[in-house]
Structure 1
Amino acid sequence: MERLDINSAPERANIEASIHFARYSVATPFVKNKRVLDIASGEGYGSYLLKQSGASEVVGVDVFEDAVNRSNQSFGGPGIKFIAADATKIESQFPENYFDVVVSLETIEHIKDPIAYLQSLKRVAKEGATIIISCPNDHWYFPEDYQRNPYHLRKYRIEEFKELACGVLGDNVNWSIGTAVMGFGSTSLDIEHDYNNVPDSWMKFNHIQGAYLVNGGEKPEFNAENCSYFFGIWNAPEITNGAAIFPVSMDAYARMIPAMEGTLSIEERLKLSELESTLEQFKSDLRKTRLNYQATLGENELVKERILALQAELQSAYDDKMSIAAERDNMRIGYHRYILLGNLVPKPLRALMKRAFKIVRGNSI
């Protein structure tokens, strides 16, 4: 999610809130009693977190005036304000060497001229000021060359980000990467009442202490290639680890672990069993269908043979009919010839021949 709408909770609200809060958690240790500039402050909740962490003054800057107006309405007050300005021309709004800490999270990928942007940050920062810049690892989210976040002008690899930023801000920098985290922690039994409300927002938060970053001897699977974002912190005495976490039930945890380990939970096994049963039924139905198909093919062959036999019988009957018709025509021709010949004999002679025929016939009887 590019920007959180503080007035309307998104899907997977806890995850989205932790993604954005985690970045600011890296900056909060450096801001106590400091004058802080927050570039691309968005809806303003991050600047509010910096002020709550002890900053003496926070100025949030964003290019969108409507976001600035909402931020001033929700979070503006003593020691915190928001202005609309171009990130590449910040020096037009403030004197040089003005801020103790400059924070710019997930901004550089939106900038058409990143060199001008970095130079502008450097001008308004005091000599030796802490400058904190993060950049998303878009090559993990959009691995193909043709893929990209529609709001980002460029995808950076960590080497490209380092070269570009250090070319302007120098080499006195600590690098870190951001990624998802797993583990265990404890909270108050009455945790719901321990949260601080972010004004005009669905978000709540609480600062916690006493966390360890642990490793059980396994080689870490995350690196600069598969992390979520990169961090550069200039002029800081040491690197800081930041996190934003939310507790889950053991029921939810039990569902997550099998997925991470590549094994199946009880629910998934039941579902798999159902799918396997459905597959076996499908195979059985397929076998029956094949048998029916083979039987149909056999019946079709018998029908074809019967059709051929009937066609042969029909042809024979037709041939007999044509033969009889030919004989009939021949008889008609003979009869007509007899009539024609009879008509050629004179009538007296025909009468004499008839009497002779009768006499001969009578004698023969």
Structure 2
Amino acid sequence: MTVERLHLAPGAMAYDSMLAAEHVVRYAFAAGLCRGRRVLDVACGEGYGSAMLAAAGAAQVVGVDIAEEAVALARARFGREGVAFRAGDAADLPRLLADQAPFDLIVSFETIEHLTDPRPFLEGLRALLAPGGGILISAPNEGQDGRASTNPFHRHAYKPETFRAVTEAVLGPADGFWLGMPLQGFAILPEGSPLCGTDREGLDAMLDGAPAGAAHLLPAQRAHRVDAGLASFAVAAWGVPAVATVAAAPVAFEAWVSTWRAVEWLRAENARLLRELAAAQSAAPPAPQEWAERLADCQRAALLDAQRLETARAALADARAAAARAAAERDAIRLRHPDRAPSPADTSALRAALAAREAELATIRASRGWRVLRAYARLYEAPLLGPPLRTLRGAAGRVVRALRRR
């Protein structure tokens, strides 16, 4: 997904459970490691993750973000004793936090790709870490080996192996390397549980999430195997014993299965089209004489209908002109004899003639020959099909002329 920051203010973003799960799972991954620790959350955004870490038992949480408006919203919504927020650059953390004691756990999710030079950022994390402390860093998998990203907010596009190499060059070998990925499955929840659905439309509905007891993960099937190249993002861990983590949201069965029904229909439709294409390619093309005869038949039918159309148009124009003359005469009579009413007999015949001409015109336009003529004209004028059609027409003409000379 390409959303860079979650906005929790009313009306700012609609609740999307998949988007929310992608962001929440990183903080859930860290939540079990922060009890009793001083935690630094770098690039905290509007502070929902810092609040999650505090709720998980962190002794103190300091959130830092470069966007002052995000920090202001974080303070207003989540600031309290033991949870503080500061505005500043992730590349200048030692100076920004010079008044702070070292941190026992530092987390920074989806930050490194925004930095032109990640080294000062990584060195800052190392400088702020207390002895025996731990670091968690994540980066999206954009698969371009550190080249410029297509995402306008990213300065680098990391593959997991590139991300690992860049971070380990400063922080040393990671103690754990984890892959983030979407999942599919089922859950069992109490009937009526708030987790079964929310009426809240804003993204802040994600704050109603909660631990849901035991999780049992199954291996991905062969076609869905996830390796570093196919992961959504990667997380590197130093000094902390992280564990596998899941963040998910229930989906109504019909909404879930409708996606697979659509996929199956598309697969079947694709197979049908491929079969038709193969059959068309294997069919023997008509002989030149047959092409010439078909083309000549279409041209004769189109010419006949075109002539009938011109005749009908001329008759229609005559009828309209006669009607206009009759209307002018009627108006002149009204001016000379205001008390005289127009004769219905004078206009009814003209109306009948006009209707007959319009009906004849409609019949011609609905005829097969006219449709062929219009379709042929559109194809003949098309930039891709026009040139080969003109070539075919010339070849057919030459064949016809050759046959006639025999």
Instruction: Find the residue that maps to 1:127 and give its secondary structure.
Output: strand
Instruction: Find the residue that maps to 1:207 and give its secondary structure.
Output: coil
Work out whether residues 140 and 234 of structure 2, in 8 Å CA contact, stay in contact via their aligned partners in 1: yes
1:105 corresponds to 2:106: no
Q: Residue by residue, what CA displacement relative to the aligned partner does 1:44-78 show, whole Å, maximum 9, x if unpaired?
A: 11111111111111000011111111110110001
Work out whether residues 61 and 83 of structure 1, in 8 Å CA contact, stay in contact via their aligned partners in 2: yes
* Closer, same or farther: CA 55–264 of 1 in aligned 2, 3 Å: same
Residue 138 of structure 1, aligned match among 142, 148, 160:
142
* Closer, same or farther: CA 125–295 of 1 in aligned 2, 3 Å: same
Work out whether residues 135 and 238 of structure 2, in 8 Å CA contact, stay in contact via their aligned partners in 1: yes
Who is 2:23 aligned against? 20
Unmatched tracts of structure 1, length 5 or more: 277-288, 304-365
Who is 1:158 aligned against? 160
Which is worse superposed, 29-38 or 5-14? Answer: 5-14
- TM-superposed CA distance for 1:16, in Å, is 1.6
If the length of structure 2 is used for normalisation, what is the TM-score?
0.61
- TM-superposed CA distance for 1:290, in Å, is 8.2
- TM-superposed CA distance for 1:172, in Å, is 4.0
Instruction: Find the residue that maps to 1:30 and give its secondary structure.
Output: coil
User: Which residue identity lines up with residue 67 of structure 1 in the other structure?
Assistant: A
Who is 1:311 aligned against? none
- State how 1:209-220 maps to structure 2 within 5 Å: 209-215=213-219, 218=222, 220=224
1:205 corresponds to 2:209: yes
1:81 & 1:14 partners in 2: Cα distance? 27
Work out whether residues 23 and 243 of structure 1, in 8 Å CA contact, stay in contact via their aligned partners in 2: no
Who is 1:264 aligned against? 265
1:293 corresponds to 2:294: no
* Closer, same or farther: CA 230–144 of 1 in aligned 2, 3 Å: closer
1:291 & 1:207 partners in 2: Cα distance? 76
Residue 85 of structure 1, aligned match among 74, 83, 88:
88
Aligned Cα root-mean-square deviation (Å): 3.5
Who is 1:229 aligned against? 233
Residue 244 of structure 1, aligned match among 247, 254, 262:
247
* Closer, same or farther: CA 85–211 of 1 in aligned 2, 3 Å: same
Who is 1:342 aligned against? none
Who is 2:382 aligned against? none
Who is 1:30 aligned against? 33
User: Which residue identity lines up with residue 226 of structure 1 in the other structure?
Assistant: L
1:191 corresponds to 2:198: no
Instruction: Find the residue that maps to 1:104 and give its secondary structure.
Output: strand
Higher alpha-carbon Rg: 1
- TM-superposed CA distance for 1:121, in Å, is 0.4
2:192 & 2:105 partners in 1: Cα distance? 36
Sequence identity of aligned pairs in percent? 30
- TM-superposed CA distance for 1:293, in Å, is 3.2
User: Which residue identity lines up with residue 114 of structure 1 in the other structure?
Assistant: P
If the length of structure 1 is used for normalisation, what is the TM-score?
0.68
1:151 & 1:47 partners in 2: Cα distance? 22
1:176 corresponds to 2:178: yes
Runs of 4 or more consecutive aligned structure 1 residues displaced over 6 Å after TM superposition: 143-146, 193-197, 289-292
- TM-superposed CA distance for 1:188, in Å, is 2.2
- TM-superposed CA distance for 1:194, in Å, is 8.9
- TM-superposed CA distance for 1:202, in Å, is 3.7
Unmatched tracts of structure 2, length 5 or more: 277-293, 309-406
Instruction: Find the residue that maps to 1:20 and give its secondary structure.
Output: helix
Work out whether residues 132 and 234 of structure 1, in 8 Å CA contact, stay in contact via their aligned partners in 2: yes
